Amino acid sequence: MTENAKEKKLTPAQLKGIEALLTTGKVTEAARAAGVAPQTFYRWRRQPHFREALREAETQAVASLSSALAVLGNKAAGALSDALDADDVRLRVRAADIVLGRLLQLRELVELEERIERLEALAHGEATNETY
């Protein structure tokens, strides 16, 4: 939980509830961890300062998960690399299929991102000389 959330005067129960909600994904579990009824937790979720604190906590959780996935991504790439060198032809073909499929997906995502950026620039009056 960030200092910003604490500055918003969240109670210890609310902080526990946010943590439990991010861990379990269930309001009933979050309410139990906070020591309140689920209706109270739902009421908290309607409060702007609580919603903001929850959003901040979610953002931090996603950033942490993203870092962990990046590490796993490196391990996965290493595993695919090892599989491409395997003696088993079926394993090599499967690994090659995975690599090529993901490369095509990545290319599509990059192209879409570039197109969106150009469209946003056009929408904001920052026209470029590029054609679509």
Q: Which of 49, 73, 97 is the last residue in one of the domains?
A: 73
Residue 81 lies in a domain: no
User: Burial letters for 12-48: b for 16+ Cβ neighbours within 10 Å, e otherwise?
Assistant: ebbbbbbbbbeeeeebebbbbbbebeeeebeebeeee
Domain with 90 in it? 86-132
36 and 91 within one domain: no
Question: Whole-model pTM?
Answer: 0.58
**Under a CB-based contact definition with an 8 Å cutoff, are residues 14 and 41 in contact?**
no
90 and 69 within one domain: no
69 and 93 within one domain: no
Residue 79 lies in a domain: no
What's the structural domain count of the chain? 2
pLDDT in tens, the chain (132 residues): 445 444 468 999 999 999 999 999 999 999 999 999 999 999 999 999 999 999 999 999 999 999 999 999 999 999 999 999 999 999 999 999 999 999 999 999 999 999 999 999 999 987 555 555
Cα 86 to Cα 94: distance, rounded to the nearest angstrom: 11
Q: How many CA atoms lie within 13 A of 30 on its CB side?
A: 22
